């Protein structure tokens, strides 16, 4: 048998695919979902604190502990089954167990989360949901009266799912107990694993819908500031066209707008990216339910189309607008830098022309000085030579003025040639 060298993470990655199985939930059961998120203004999320909080709950019920590095856990706590999952931004607790009381959505199941334990959590509740799984329903006539009593008709969404294996209903409103309500009416042939998958899908739809909606208030806040920046940026571009302000002043204003836009982009990029990812998960989870209309009611997909999608489109529009304004400021900066460089080049050209004129004047002055220096040097040279040759002239009967007159022309020519040779050697 051949032996292969396995990657150290091969088995962990394979086990991860099977680490979060769907729960098996029977007819006549209840389930409760609690999602907690660290506040945005808090320090970095402490995952060890999340596990410690879970262990505190398990100790209350004498249940076994998860692995030290676990990001998910399933186990029995009292009469309920607990499923705990740790996500990037939040952590979820879901409990389920058999038994329905005469009171619909009986809050007794929430007693599994003690009040003092809830007070110790490091996160805030982003959503909680109560699921009521009725006994097997073969006749649809039992369903409408329950819907009228349990939900608000204006926002009620009802649909048959998974080839009519169950009927789902919710109005996506927070009830007096502070929870979302979901009713599940399974058919007699629907097994427990399928009911568990339905509950899990609904829990994911509710959780990711809420997390996606966190991007909407952020987009609304950004739009007000972006409107101010957009107005200032438009005025700046008009000023650049009219040349009313100095380029340095325009550049300083533009840098201020660009800095503000970059700050907005850095603060919003993660939330907008997460919103897009959560929205995709919500749409995918609804799609896999394979909804069919129930007695003319709106489906979950139609509810999301009317209530959820407009908020998501606002977030996407704000993200595109922010990116567009950032690009616009960058292009304006490029134009302004080009304008400044052109003006600076013109100034440098004028400076070089001025330097050329000064150099030409200095050269003519230097040539004038050189001419005068030739005369001065020749004068002294003639006098020196005249004194030197005076005794010789007296011996031959030639007077000193005649000697000096004879020396003037050759001395001047010699001095001029010597000066010219020196200037050529220097240049």
Q: Where are the domains of the chain?
A: 21-196, 215-351, 367-426
Contacts of 66 (CB under 8 A, 6+ apart): 51, 54, 55, 72, 73, 75, 84
Lowest mean pLDDT among 26-35, 123-132, 219-228, 391-400: 391-400
pLDDT tens per residue across span 232-254: 888 887 877 776 677 777 778 88
The residue-averaged pLDDT of 88-102 equals 92
The residue-averaged pLDDT of 218-245 equals 83
- What separation in angstroms does the CA of 250 have from each of 140, 228, 234, 258? 71, 17, 12, 12
| DSSP symbols for 203-236 | HHHHHHHHHHHTHHHHHHHHHHHHHHHHHHHHHH
pLDDT tens per residue across span 376-415: 777 777 777 777 777 776 677 677 677 677 767 787 777 7
Question: Which tokens is 23 given?
Answer: 């729960």
SS percent in the chain: helix, strand, coil, step 5: 60, 15, 25
Report pLDDT for 210. Answer: 96
| DSSP symbols for 131-164 | EEEPSP---GGGHHHHHHHHS-TTT-EEEEETTT
> How high does pLDDT run on average in the chain?
86
Question: What phi and psi values does residue 129 have, to the nearest 5 degrees?
Answer: -140, 145
- Please give the Cα distance from 409 to 393 (Å, whole number): 18
pLDDT tens per residue across span 118-162: 998 878 999 999 999 999 998 899 999 999 999 999 999 999 999
Torsion of CA 294, 169, 173, 301, to 10 degrees: -60
The residue-averaged pLDDT of 16-43 equals 82
Q: What is the DSSP letter of 15?
A: H
pLDDT tens per residue across span 49-64: 899 999 999 999 889 9
Report pLDDT for 416. Answer: 74
**Looking at the predicted structure, is the pLDDT value of residue 213 above 60?**
yes
The residue-averaged pLDDT of 348-362 equals 83
365: pLDDT confidence band, cut at 50, 70 and 90? confident
* Burial (CB count within 10 angstroms: exposed 0-12, middle 13-18, buried 19+), residue 18: exposed
Which of 62, 193, 190 has the alpha carbon at shortest distance from 138?
Answer: 190
* Burial (CB count within 10 angstroms: exposed 0-12, middle 13-18, buried 19+), residue 9: exposed
Report pLDDT for 68. Answer: 85
**Looking at the predicted structure, is the pLDDT value of residue 427 above 80?**
no
* Neighbour count for residue 231 (Cβ, 10 Å): 10
The residue-averaged pLDDT of 31-54 equals 83
Which of 83, 48, 47 has the alpha carbon at shortest distance from 63?
Answer: 83
On whether the CB atoms of residues 181 and 175 are closer than 8 A, the answer is: yes
Cα atoms in the 13 Å half-sphere on the side-chain side of 27 = 13
* Burial (CB count within 10 angstroms: exposed 0-12, middle 13-18, buried 19+), residue 208: buried
**Looking at the predicted structure, is the pLDDT value of residue 368 above 80?**
no
Report pLDDT for 367. Answer: 67
Lowest mean pLDDT among 27-36, 162-171, 304-313, 382-391: 382-391
* Burial (CB count within 10 angstroms: exposed 0-12, middle 13-18, buried 19+), residue 225: middle
Report pLDDT for 193. Answer: 94
422: pLDDT confidence band, cut at 50, 70 and 90? confident
Contacts of 169 (CB under 8 A, 6+ apart): 143, 147, 150, 151, 156, 157, 158, 182, 183, 185
Report pLDDT for 19. Answer: 62
**Looking at the predicted structure, is the pLDDT value of residue 40 above 90?**
no
Contacts of 205 (CB under 8 A, 6+ apart): 282, 285, 286, 300
Contacts of 21 (CB under 8 A, 6+ apart): 74
- Please give the Cα distance from 214 to 208 (Å, whole number): 10
Cα atoms in the 13 Å half-sphere on the side-chain side of 68 = 0
- Please give the Cα distance from 98 to 205 (Å, whole number): 23
- Please give the Cα distance from 133 to 115 (Å, whole number): 25
Q: Which residue has the higher pLDDT, 229 or 423?
A: 229
* Neighbour count for residue 249 (Cβ, 10 Å): 12
Helix (H) or strand (E) holding 347: helix 309-396
Q: Which strands sit side by side in the sheet containing 29-37, from one edge to the other?
A: 72-77, 80-86, 90-98, 29-37, 124-133, 180-186, 166-170, 157-161, 292-293
The residue-averaged pLDDT of 260-269 equals 88
Report pLDDT for 39. Answer: 78
Q: Which residues pair with 182 in a beta bridge?
A: 131
Diameter of the chain measured on Cα atoms: 158
344-353 CB contacts, 8 Å cutoff, 24+ apart: none
208: pLDDT confidence band, cut at 50, 70 and 90? very high
């Amino acid at each position: 048998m051949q032996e292969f060298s396995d990657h150290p993470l091969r088995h962990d990655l394979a086990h991860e695919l099977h680490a979060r199985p769907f729960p098996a939930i029977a007819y006549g059961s209840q389930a409760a979902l609690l999602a907690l998120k660290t506040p945005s203004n808090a320090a970095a999320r402490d995952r060890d604190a999340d596990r410690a909080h879970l262990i505190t709950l398990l100790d209350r019920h004498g249940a076994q502990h998860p692995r030290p590095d676990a990001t998910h856990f399933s186990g029995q706590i009292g009469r309920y089954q607990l499923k705990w999952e740790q996500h990037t931004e939040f952590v979820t607790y879901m409990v389920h167990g058999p038994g329905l009381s005469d009171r619909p959505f009986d809050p007794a199941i929430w007693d599994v989360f003690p009040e003092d334990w809830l007070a110790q959590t490091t996160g805030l509740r982003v959503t909680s949901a109560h699921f009521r799984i009725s006994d097997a329903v073969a006749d649809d006539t039992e369903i409408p009266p329950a819907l009228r009593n349990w939900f608000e008709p204006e926002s009620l969404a009802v649909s048959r799912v998974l080839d009519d294996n169950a009927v789902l209903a919710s109005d996506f409103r927070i009830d007096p107990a502070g929870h979302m309500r979901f009713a599940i009416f399974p058919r007699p042939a629907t097994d427990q694993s399928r009911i568990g998958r339905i509950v899990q899908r609904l829990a994911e739809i509710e959780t990711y819908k809420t997390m996606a909606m966190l991007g909407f208030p952020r987009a609304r806040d950004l739009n007000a500031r972006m409107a101010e920046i957009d107005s200032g940026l438009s005025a700046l571009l008009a000023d650049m066209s009219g040349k009313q302000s100095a380029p340095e002043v325009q550049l300083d204003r533009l840098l201020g707008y660009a800095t503000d836009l970059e700050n907005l982009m850095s603060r919003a990029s993660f939330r907008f990216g997460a919103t897009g990812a959560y929205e995709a998960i919500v749409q995918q989870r609804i799609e896999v339910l394979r909804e069919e209309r129930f007695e003319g009611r709106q489906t979950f997909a139609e509810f999301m189309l009317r209530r959820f999608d407009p908020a998501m489109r606002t977030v996407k529009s704000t993200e595109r607008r922010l990116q567009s304004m950032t690009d616009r400021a960058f292009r304006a900066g490029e134009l302004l830098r080009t304008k400044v460089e052109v003006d600076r080049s013109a100034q440098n050209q004028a400076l070089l022309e001025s330097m050329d004129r000064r150099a030409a004047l200095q050269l003519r002055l230097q040539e004038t000085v050189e001419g005068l220096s030739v005369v001065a040097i020749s004068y002294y040279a003639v006098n020196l030579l005249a004194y030197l040759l005076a005794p010789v002239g007296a011996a031959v009967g030639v007077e000193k003025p005649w000697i000096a007159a004879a020396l003037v022309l050759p001395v001047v020519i010699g001095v001029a040639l010597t000066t010219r040779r020196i200037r050529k050697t220097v240049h």
